[in-house]
Structures are given as structure tokens and as C-alpha cells.
């Protein structure tokens, strides 16, 4: 478990790229991450391109979130996880279809499309990427 800061703003802006798992790869240092960027945050290179990341990975760390940012309250408590994808890329994502008590380090997960935000009083619903435990293998 690590300390989760609930004041981190929602990632709504990044949703289109997150849904496609579209990140970037730096051709100088090899760093891959979400969302796509023009400049590598690790080495400062502009020699980057967009890359589609693998849809499977495993949980490295996780935290159960009880106080969510505005718009996410509906889902509390939920599980936020640091996931290492099959190519080694590490991303943060919410887990779904799992009891928070059952999340373990090293658990295999796969990307699925889920509701990510519900506005109040019948407001907008957005869809985006979450990860769930791999059911069959």
C-alpha cells in the first residue's frame, strides 16, 4: 500500500487515449507511458512516437480509495492500482469487478471498458479504461 492523495484531479482529460491504451515511446531512452506526450518526461527527448500498449499486466501496488475526487464518489470504495503491463510499462488505473479485499500483489489483470464517472442528477456518464482480474488463462 502507498499513500494515495485524493486531491489529485480527475483524469477525464486523458480518457480518449486511455481507452485505446495509447501511450508514447521514447526512442532515446525507451521510456513508455500514458498518456501520449510530445517530450519524454524522463530524458527530455522529442524523439517520441505513439504506441499501443498491451492490454494485460499485473498489479504491483494498490490502494483502496474511500474518499474520491468529485464525480467519483459513486464508486467508493474503489481500488486504484499501479499496474505493470506485459511490456513493462507502468500505469495507474482503477480496478473493477473485484472485491478490494481480494486484490493481491502480482494479480493478473486485463483492460476493460467501464463507466468512469457519473454526473449528479442524471448528468453525463463517461466510459473509460479500467482493469479487472483475468478470468481465464
Chain residues binding Zn ion by CB under 5 A are 26, 28-29, 31, 40, 42-43, 45
- Beta carbon nearer to Zn ion, 26 or 111: 26
SS3 16: helix
| CA–CA distances in Å: residue 110 to residues 17, 36, 54, 89 | 17, 20, 9, 14
Q: How far is the CB of 54 from Zn ion (least distance, A)?
A: 20
Q: How far is the CB of 9 from Zn ion (least distance, A)?
A: 25
- Beta carbon nearer to Zn ion, 40 or 79: 40
Residue whose cell numbers read 481500488: 79
Q: How far is the CB of 77 from Zn ion (least distance, A)?
A: 36
Q: How far is the CB of 28 from Zn ion (least distance, A)?
A: 5
CB within 8 Å of 113: residues ≥ 6 apart: 19, 127, 128, 129, 130
- Beta carbon nearer to Zn ion, 40 or 65: 40
- Beta carbon nearer to Zn ion, 37 or 114: 37
Q: Which three cell numbers stand for residue 125?
A: 456518464
- Edge-to-edge strands, sheet with 22-26: 32-33, 22-26, 48-52
Amino acid at each position: 500500500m502507498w499513500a494515495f492523495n485524493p486531491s489529485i484531479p480527475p483524469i477525464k482529460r486523458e480518457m480518449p487515449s486511455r481507452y485505446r491504451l495509447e501511450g508514447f515511446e521514447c526512442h532515446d531512452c525507451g521510456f513508455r507511458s500514458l498518456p501520449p506526450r510530445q517530450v519524454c518526461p524522463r530524458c527530455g527527448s522529442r524523439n517520441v512516437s505513439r504506441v499501443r500498449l498491451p492490454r494485460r499486466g499485473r498489479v504491483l501496488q494498490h490502494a483502496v480509495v474511500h474518499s474520491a475526487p468529485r464525480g467519483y464518489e459513486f464508486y467508493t470504495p474503489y481500488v486504484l492500482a499501479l499496474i505493470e503491463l506485459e511490456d513493462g510499462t507502468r500505469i495507474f488505473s482503477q480496478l473493477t469487478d473485484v472485491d478490494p479485499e481480494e486484490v493481491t500483489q502480482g494479480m493478473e489483470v486485463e483492460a476493460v471498458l467501464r463507466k468512469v464517472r457519473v454526473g449528479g442528477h442524471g448528468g453525463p456518464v463517461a466510459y473509460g479504461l479500467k482493469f479487472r482480474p483475468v478470468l481465464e488463462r
